[in-house]
Chains A and B, each alone.
Chain A
Amino acid sequence: MARPFDVVIIGGGIIGTATGYYLARKGLKVAVLEKGFLTSGSTGRCIGGIRQQFTTRSSILIAMESVRIFKTLGEEFGFDIEWHQGGYLFLAHSEEKERAYKRAIEVQRKFGLEVNYITGEEAREIVPGLNTDGLLGAAYCPHDGQANPFLVVDGYARGIKQRGGSIFTFTPVTAIHKARHFRIQTGKGDFEAPVVVNAAGPWVAEIGAMVGVEIPAQPERHEALITERRSLFMEPMIVDYRPDGCYFQQLHSTGQLIGCYTPDPKVPGRDVSSTSEFLREMGRRMVRILPKLGEIRVLRQWAGSYTMSPDGSPIVGESGVEGFYIAGAMSGHGFMFGPGIGRCLAELIVGNESPIDLSEFRPDREFVRAEALK
Chain B
Amino acid sequence: MRYQLGIVGGGPAGMMAALIGDRFGIKTILIDDNPALGGQLIKQTHKFFGSKDHYCGYRGFQIGSILREEIAKSKVEVITSATVTGIYPGFILGLHHKERYQEVGCDAVIVATGAKEKFLIFENNDLPGVYGAGAVQTLMNVYGVFPGRRALMIGSGNIGLIVTYQLLQAGVEVPFLVEILPEIGGWFVHAAKIARAGTRILTSHTIISALGEEEVEGAVIAKVDDQFHPVSGSEVTIDVDLICLAVGLSPLSDLLWQVGCRMEFIPELGGYLAWHNERMETTVPGLYVAGDVAGIEEATTAMLEGKVAAISAVSHLLGPSDELSAMQREIIRELDDLRSGDFSQVVSRGLRRLYDRP
Contact = CB atoms under 8 A, between A and B. Distances in A.
B103 interface: yes
Contacts of A274: 86, 88, 258
B29 to A, nearest CB: 16
Interface in B94-121: 94, 96, 99, 101, 103
B92 interface: yes
Nearest to B92: A276
A276 B260 contact: no
A274 B259 CA distance: 10
A273 B260 contact: yes
Nearest to A294: B99
A112 B85 CA distance: 47
Nearest to A301: B86
B173 to A, nearest CB: 38
B89 interface: yes
Interface residues of B, number: 11
Nearest to A283: B101
A273 B101 contact: no
Interface string A265-278: 00000000111100
A279 B260 contact: no
A280 interface: yes
Interface string A92-108: 00000000000000000
Nearest to B90: A276
A276 B101 CA distance: 10
A259 to B, nearest CB: 15
Interface in A205-249: none
Contacts of B92: 276
A301 B260 CA distance: 15
* Chain A facing B: main interface SS: mixed
A298 B94 CA distance: 12
A279 B94 contact: yes
Nearest to A298: B101
Contacts of B96: 297
A276 B105 CA distance: 11
Contacts of A279: 86, 94, 101
B88 A275 contact: yes
A280 B88 contact: no
A298 B86 CA distance: 12
A283 B103 CA distance: 14
Contacts of A276: 86, 88, 92, 94, 103
Given A273-B89, A274-B88, A275-B88, A280 B260 contact: no
A359 to B, nearest CB: 43
A280 B89 contact: no
A283 B96 CA distance: 13
A362 B86 CA distance: 43
A223 B70 CA distance: 42
Nearest to B102: A280
Contacts of B94: 276, 279
A295 B258 CA distance: 26
Contacts of A298: 101
Interface centre among A275, A276, A279, A301 (most CB of B within 10 A): A276
Contacts of B88: 274-276
Interface string B264-278: 000000000000000
A295 B101 CA distance: 12
B6 to A, nearest CB: 13
B8 to A, nearest CB: 15
A276 B94 CA distance: 7
B241 to A, nearest CB: 30
Nearest to A300: B85
Contacts of B99: 295
A280 B101 CA distance: 7
A275 B94 CA distance: 10
Contacts of A283: 101
A275 B86 CA distance: 9
Interface in B169-201: none
B89 A275 contact: yes
21 contacts: A273-B89, A273-B260, A274-B86, A274-B88, A274-B258, A275-B88, A275-B89, A276-B86, A276-B88, A276-B92, A276-B94, A276-B103, A279-B86, A279-B94, A279-B101, A280-B101, A280-B103, A283-B101, A297-B96, A298-B101, A301-B86
Given A276-B88, A279-B86, A279-B94, 18 more contacts: A273-B89, A273-B260, A274-B86, A274-B88, A274-B258, A275-B88, A275-B89, A276-B92, A276-B94, A276-B103, A279-B101, A280-B101, A280-B103, A283-B101, A295-B99, A297-B96, A298-B101, A301-B86
* Chain A to chain B: the 6 pairs with minimum beta-carbon distance, closest first: A276-B88, A276-B94, A276-B92, A276-B103, A275-B88, A280-B101
